[in-house]
Amino acid sequence: MNEFDVIVVGAGPSGATAAKCLGEAGVRVLVLEKAEAFPREKPCGGGLSARMLERFPYVKEVLAEVGTNPIRRVYLESPDGTGVVHEQAEPIMYLVRRWEYDAALFRRAQAVAPVEMGVTIRALRVLPEGVELEATDGRVFRAKMVIGCDSANSVIARHSGLRVGDIRSEYAVDMMEETPAAKMQAARPDTVSLFLTLTKTFGYGYIFPKTEHCNLGFGCKLDYYLEELRGKGKEHHAGWVEEMKQKGFVTGETQRDGYKAFPIPISGPLAKTYTDRVLLAGDAGGFVNAFTAEGIFYAMTSGALAAEAAIAAVKANDYSEAQLKGYERTWRAEIGGDLEHSVDIQRRLFNDSGRIDQIVRAASRDEGLLKLLIGYSMGAVRYEELRNYMAASAVPKWVMSKVASMLRFGNKGVATSKA
């Protein structure tokens, strides 16, 4: 029945990383991708945290192949308009176009694994002897197990029973455009600008200057989008661009035809990311930082760890839930703390804009706090570093008590986080 050991559904960063690891290990792997070809369209801010290069050294080669803007300067603005700037000698993040970056990752996966393009999966069946994946064109693909890397709207997650319930409170919507610099320019091409404006629309804005494009967008919770912005996304986005122009952050004109809106899971990893013959990675498994919306690092990390779990399953000839449980242990050990804390911080901050104002104002007076706060927002600093600094900070106690309330956790772990 099984020509392949593993089928990877989706060839984005998580799927391409998993396929590369599996192919290099000699596993019989097949990649199924719904796009007809790479490069393919992919709306995304395209921010890579500097730690990506430590976790995946070959990404240095990838960055040499694509247009990359190393960012050393970050502007952060709180809801009350307080702005702070942090600069450093080494890049804090790298900005890329996802069209180019994903294509470079895909080339590496394609070099070691067969790929079927233009395949959209509509059904998954887990059988005693393997898995069957049915495509919309009627074709059926079989293997011993599957790794679902098929985006936030994952069919694999739904059909395996690993994602259930209403997504309204679990997702955000990112509304953005990525426009050629000839049409729109960032006033500071060396600066990432972040605007925490949740007092207006319970969301955040950003400007990411690429080498030849300007990426500008606005994100908000899905429930708010459905209640207030559905059908009005383009108009809201155009208004946001106009506000940025008036404030002097960008010049040029919005390109309405380039407007895109897409979902982002912001409630942390699913309660379970494995079951018999199935693993989930990337957005399909909820591997996105709920505070920063960073997803690429977590996608690639979960993809690599899912591949390692699949390799172990192939060697043991055991694809049971008990065997695949090791995947969850490994991702929790490496990135679980980051993701759990991000959920808790997001829920606390996005329910009280005053907390963000207090933190940013405190950071404007404390360079050490500012560096850690920006570093955490960019994925370059772990939560523990920020928390420990806050605990020993010389920030006045009345400010400290307000800020620390956002970072305080009980003896048994995260106070309010639920995966």
C-alpha 243/C-alpha 198 separation (Å) is: 15
Rounded mean pLDDT of 159-176? 85
Contacts of 299 (CB under 8 A, 6+ apart): 12, 13, 14, 17, 149, 281, 282, 283, 287
| Other beta carbons less than 10 A from residue 5's beta carbon | 21
Res. 247 pLDDT band, cuts 50 70 90: very high
Fold adopted by 4-68+96-165+270-337: FAD/NAD(P)-binding domain (3.50.50)
pLDDT at 393: 64
pLDDT at 2: 57
Contacts of 114 (CB under 8 A, 6+ apart): 29, 30, 31
Res. 229 pLDDT band, cuts 50 70 90: confident
pLDDT at 109: 98
What pTM was computed for the model? 0.90
Buried residues in 19-44 as b, exposed as e (16+ CB within 10 A): bbbbbeeebbbbbbbbbeebbbebbb
Res. 200 pLDDT band, cuts 50 70 90: low
Q: What is the percent of the chain where pLDDT is above 70?
A: 90
| Other beta carbons less than 10 A from residue 154's beta carbon | 27
Cβ distance 402 to 355 under 8 Å? yes
The upper half-sphere exposure of residue 209, i.e. CA atoms within 13 Å in the direction of its Cβ, equals: 23
Tell me the β-bridge partners of 142: 132
Q: Residue 22: name the closest of 282, 303, 307, 301 by CA.
A: 307
Domain 171-265 in the same topology as domain 4-68+96-165+270-337: no
pLDDT at 283: 94
C-alpha 250/C-alpha 46 separation (Å) is: 18
Lowest mean pLDDT among 14-23, 162-171, 179-188, 276-285: 162-171
Can you give the residue ranges of every domain in the chain? Answer: 4-68+96-165+270-337, 171-265, 344-407
pLDDT at 197: 73
Q: Residue 262: name the closest of 83, 42, 80, 6 by CA.
A: 42
Q: What is the percent of the chain where pLDDT is above 90?
A: 61
Q: DSSP labels for 377-408?
A: HTTSS-HHHHHHHHHH--S-HHHHHHHHHHH-
Rounded mean pLDDT of 119-147? 97
Cis peptide before 79 (omega within 30 of 0): no
pLDDT in tens, 38-94: 998 887 889 998 899 999 999 999 999 999 999 999 999 988 889 999 999 999 999
Fold adopted by 171-265: D-Amino Acid Oxidase; Chain A, domain 2 (3.30.9)
